[in-house]
Structure 1
Amino acid sequence: MVTPFAVKLSEQDMLDIAAYYSYLPRQPGYHSDPAVDAPQIVARGAPMRNGPACSSCHGTTDAKLGTPWLDGQSAVYIKAQLQAFAAGARRNDISEQMRNIARQMTAAEIDEAARYHAGGP
């Protein structure tokens, strides 16, 4: 999605911005409210539907290389991206892994994951 701030960026500007953000170190993960337990889909996934835990790839400093850190993202943004993956509208996942995972998630699980990650730093 192109926002008004990104419309006038050149290809090189976007590459430079991406390089800058990828250079920044990841901060150790923590949840802003330690009393809030991670929902099932985040912590353990949906094993009966062959769905991995969100945290297995999108965890903290030990997350897989190349996967975005979700904590602190807007709940609206996370929900919209999961819905786009589920619908096949977002297709930037190698081997369709996020599309396959998002298709298996229920609407409630998408909401829970989005709210939980939005509460991070």
Structure 2
Amino acid sequence: MKKLTALCILLASQTVLASEPATRPVGDAEAGKGKTMVCMACHGTDGNGAIAEYPRIAGQHPQYIASQLKDFKSGARHNALMSPMAAALSEQDMLDLAAFYASQKMALTPAADELAEQGRDIYRAGVKDKGVPACIGCHGPNGNGNGAALYPRIGGQSAAYLEKQLQDYKSGARAGDSQELLKLMMKQIAAKLSAEEMKAVAAYTSGLR
């Protein structure tokens, strides 16, 4: 628990620094719309896709979308579908796509009632006897995350996708991401969660507004 607490403090300090004003390149949402043809099969026309195992990227922070595309292109994060797609993208392409999808509205679905209560407790308070910190600390009360710090929006995300990411952090299958501290923290958290706890917190988070 002490190690995870230290990581939380360090990540929080990075959040403050990341939130300071800075000149960053930005994308053009209209230009991005014209570059979405290859994305539609998995993510739909507006980033809400119909396949639960694929992430909803509508309304996601543009900084986070762009960072993940860069990681897929560089090999810091690997996915059999996304890595080849990102390989052909320029930095401006990534920024434009990120701007377009960020401008779209996420289609929200109700949380699974039978799991929501257990998931709510984990999200808000963690699992004290396992040393698992609360998800709310980084992702906020509504799951909106923090774009400047590259904490993704997870509220309203597909429960199936969230559960799979926790499983992949635990197994090591999600071994990439350029955000090393965040990856390390998520890996340590997921390692302590049971399959039932992952399913519950994913179900609750998917219903956050």
Would the TM-score normalized by the shorter structure come out above 0.5? yes
Partner residue of 2:128 out of 34, 47, 70: 47
**C-alpha distance in structure 2 between counterparts of 1:78 and 1:62, whole Å:** 14
Q: Say which is worse superposed, 104-113 or 89-98, in terms of deviation.
A: 89-98
Residue 81 of structure 1 is matched in structure 2 by 165
Residue 89 of structure 2 is matched in structure 1 by 10
Deviation for aligned residue 1:21: 6.5
Paired positions, count? 111
**C-alpha distance in structure 1 between counterparts of 2:120 and 2:168, whole Å:** 21
Greater helix share, structure number: 2
Does 1:94 find its partner at 2:174?
no
Partner residue of 1:72 out of 136, 152, 156: 156
Residue identity (%): 30
Q: Deviations over 1:61-84 (max 9, x none)?
A: 884532112111001100110000
Deviation for aligned residue 1:109: 1.0
Secondary structure of 1:52's partner?
coil
Deviation for aligned residue 1:23: 7.0
> What RMSD over aligned residues (CA atoms) do the two structures have, in Å?
3.0
Deviation for aligned residue 1:39: 2.2
Structure 1: gaps (5+ residues): 25-31
Secondary structure of 2:85's partner?
coil
Secondary structure of 1:10's partner?
coil
Residue 137 of structure 2 is matched in structure 1 by 56
Shift of the 116–47 alpha-carbon distance from structure 1 to 2, 3 Å rule, reads same
